[in-house]
Amino acid sequence: MFVDAVNVYVKAGDGGNGIVAYRREIYVPKGGPAGGDGGRGGDIVFEVDEGLNTLMDFRYKRHFKAKRGENGQGKGQHGKGADDYVIPVPPGTTVKDTDTGEVIADLTEHQQRAVIAQGGRGGRGNMRFASPRNPAPEIAENGEPGIERNVSLELKLMADVGLVGFPSVGKSTLLSTVSAAKPKIAEYHFTTLAPNLGVVETADQRSFVMADLPGLIEGAHEGVGLGHQFLRHVDRTRLIVHVVDMASMEGRDPYEDYKTIRQELVEYDEKMLERPEIVVASKMDMPGAEENLQAFREQLGQDLTIFPISSVTRDGLKELLFTVADKLEEIPKDTTPIEEKEERVIYRHQEKEKPFTISREDDGAFVLKGAELEKLFKMTDFTRDETVNRFARQLRSMGVDDALRERGAENGDIIRILDYEFEFVE
């Protein structure tokens, strides 16, 4: 089974906790703090493996979680950082954040890596908080939570040549004739439900990768038929070979077929007009094909080379493959990552997210939310009074106390953060 799109959940490792500890050594009457820092959590990393050509493995495992860092120890010993969780993906994989639509990575080359979710840093031990005013602090941080996100993986084939055209125009037969690929061939529509790849070698020992892509129908850019399951793969091809059935075996007009497919490509991405194209007139061994080809040339009305071929008799195949190889030598490989294509601005101002928001629930409790506030909360060790007081000072400096008073909070009111509740104290 060929799988070219999948959604997965990834969670980077949390940082290890820092600890509160003190030196207790002979001849050191007042040893001081000796709590070590926690280790950093492991990153979620995607790495290209050129031996893969499908996202099939992700159908059976959709959740990936890296290990957390080890906690700090006494005598100033820091916890060990966790190893990164490296996940192999096939070349041509684009990774997007499902919630925001942001392109995180465009992975095309063997062993290319991208950090998809970053592990949390380790919490600081009490050695880090020592100061002249407080030489023996009872303060330590919990590890920072690792990033978690839902991501969508989309595979776009890394083929040099893409065969496009209506269903049953002879694309699969052409590929099976000029390469060792064995695509399914039958006399019904959408025989090819997944792209097929084949390596083609010309008589002068030049080679290239050709992809037989699922057939298009009108409305494919809106998802009709195989829709985007086909169109996403055209993005990677350097040369489009447009196959047109000149025998009109389906009763359609060849010129109308050509116009419809061209329009679908443009509707999907206007840049398709700039993609080099070769027109192939297939099934020329069938009755009426020569007359249809003549009419097609007249209707086309432009200086576009058309290659009449027959995959059955192999007429015209040698000239077609030589021309394709010549064209590919003129077309440079596109190595520009997707991010640079979509965003050419070097710097774009982004409004900073509010550190917290306040809402009120039906039971009268004030609910505090916000990524920055929740991270501080998770990194606070509430088993020690000194760290609780530090958290209260952090909230005050963020303006939480004043904001609650403006919303009408009074002494004794319930304040809720995540699944925990506190009383508001003036």
Residues that constitute the known binding site for Mg(2+): 172, 192
* Extended strands (E) in 145-195: 148-155, 161-164
Cβ pair 12, 162 in contact under 8 A:
no
Q: Taking a C-beta distance cutoff of 8 angstroms, is the pair 255, 282 a contact? A: no
* Strand, coil or helix: 234: helix
Which helix (H) or strand (E) segment holds residue 240: the answer is strand 239-245
- Among 245, 276, 240, which residue's Cα sits nearest to residue 258? 245
| 323: Cβ contacts below 8 Å, ≥ 6 apart | 278, 305, 307
Q: Which of 2, 47, 50, 18 is nearest to 380 (CA)?
A: 18
Can you say which residues are annotated as belonging to the binding site?
Answer: 165-172, 190-194, 212-215, 282-285, 310-312
Residue that is written with structure tokens 């061209």 in the block: 262
| Whole-angstrom distance, CA of residue 14 vs CA of residue 42 | 8
Task: Give kind and range of the element (H or E) at residue 423.
Answer: strand 420-423
Going by C-beta distance under 8 Å and a sequence separation of 6 or more, which residues neighbour residue 402? none
Residue 108's Cβ-side half-sphere holds a number of Cα atoms within 13 Å equal to 15
Helix (H, G, I), strand (E, B) or coil at 40: coil
Tell how far CA 324 is from the center of its chain.
Answer: 31
Q: How far is CA 421 from the centre of its chain?
A: 38
**How many other C-beta atoms can be found within 10 angstroms of the C-beta atom of residue 319?**
12
Annotated binding site for GTP: 165-172, 190-194, 212-215, 282-285, 310-312
